[in-house]
Amino acid sequence: MSRSNKKKDTVAFNIKFPRLASAYKVARALGLKNLADRFARTLTPYIIGSDMNISPRGYAALIVFSALIFSISFFIIGYIIKGIILAIPLVLVSITVPGIMYLYPLMKFRSRGDMLDVKILNLEAALATSLISSVSHEDAFLSLLPLSDVLGFKVELREVAKGIIHERLPLTDALIRASQITPSRSAALLFEGLKGIIDSGAGVLEYIYWMASSSYNDVEAKYRAAFNSLSVLMETYMATAVLMPIVVIAALVTLFGMGNFFPLTVNPRYLTSLVSFVLTPLSAVGILVIADSIVSRLRP
C-alpha cells in the first residue's frame, strides 16, 4: 500500500467530537500528551465504531487522569493506614478503574457488532433496492443515509457520506474507511468486497445477492446458537429457583443435627430466609439479565 493510500485510510481516525476536548488540553499542559495519544490511537476505531459521541483523545486523557489520580490517592491512603505494605496493593487495586474505562469502548464495540451482524440483511436489501433505482453507486449509498437509524448502520453510512461529500474521496476509499471502523464482521466483508467489485467493474448486484445469501445462513446459525443458550439458561433458572432453597435447607438441617461436630452460632431460620428471599431471587434476576442480553443482541 502506498503512502498516499495509508494517509487516506487513517483520515477516518481523525474525527473530532466536542465532548471531553478540554481533558486533552489539560493532558497536553501537564506533559501527558504522548501517553494520551498512544491510548487514543488504540481506542479511536473502537470509540467511533461503537458510536460513542466523545472525543477519542479526550477519553484517552481521562483514562490517564484517572490512573494518575486514583493511584496517588490510594497510595497515600494505604501509606497513612499501614505504610508501604498496604500502599502498594491499594495502588494495584486502583488500576482497575482506568482498566474498566479502557475496556468499556471495546465491550461496547463488540456489543454493537453482535447487533449489526443480525441487521446486515436489512442493509443488503436496502442497498440492492437503492442500486436498482440510482444512477450511480455513490448515489445509492447517499440515498441510504436518511434510513441509517432504521437500518442500524448510522456510523458506517455517515462515514461513507463524509468521505464522498466532504472529502471528495472515491467511493472505494470511503468503503475501506467504513470497513475499518465497523464492529460488524459481515459489514466489513460487504464493504471490502464492494470495493473490489467496483474496481473490477463486475456485477455489484450479483455480489450483494450472494452476500445476502451468506448473511442469511450466518444469522440463522446465530439464532440457533442463541436458542440453545437460552434453553440452558432456563434450565439453570428452574434449578436455581426451585432446587436451591430445598438443597440449602436440607443441608442446614443436616449440619445443625450434627451437634458438637459442626457447631453453628447463627439461627438456621435466618439462613433459610436469606437463601429463600435474597440469594435465590438475586440469582434468578442475574440469569434473566443474561437471557435478556442474548435476546437483545439478536433483535433485528
Per residue in 121-136, pLDDT (tens digit) is 889 889 988 888 877 8
Q: Where in the sequence is the domain holding 170, given as residue range(s)?
A: 112-217
- Please compute the mean of the pLDDT values over residues 151-166 and round it to a whole number: 89
- What the block records as the C-alpha cell of 69 is 489520580
Same domain, 130 and 210: yes
Per-residue model confidence (pLDDT) at position 264:
54
Of residues 19 and 31, which shows the higher confidence score? Answer: 31
Scored b (16 or more CB within 10 A) or e, 7-37 reads ebeeebbeeebeebeebbeebeeeebbebbb
Query: What φ, ψ does residue 177 adopt, rounded to 5°?
Result: -65, -40
Helix (H) or strand (E) holding 118: helix 96-133
How many structural domains comprise the chain?
A: 3
Is pLDDT at 49 greater than 60 in this prediction?
yes
pLDDT tens across 245-269, in order?
A: 777 777 766 666 555 545 555 566 6
Instruction: Answer yes or no: pTM beyond 0.75.
Output: no
Same domain, 7 and 67: yes
Same domain, 213 and 121: yes
Same domain, 91 and 179: no
Same domain, 195 and 128: yes
Q: How far apart are CA 72 and CA 258, in angstroms?
A: 51
Q: How far apart are CA 79 and CA 74, in angstroms?
A: 8
Confidence bin at 13 (pLDDT 50/70/90): very low
Same domain, 167 and 183: yes
Residue that is last in its domain, among 175, 199, 217: 217
Same domain, 58 and 120: no
Residue that is last in its domain, among 109, 134, 150: 109
Same domain, 121 and 212: yes
Q: Is 205 strand, coil or helix?
A: helix
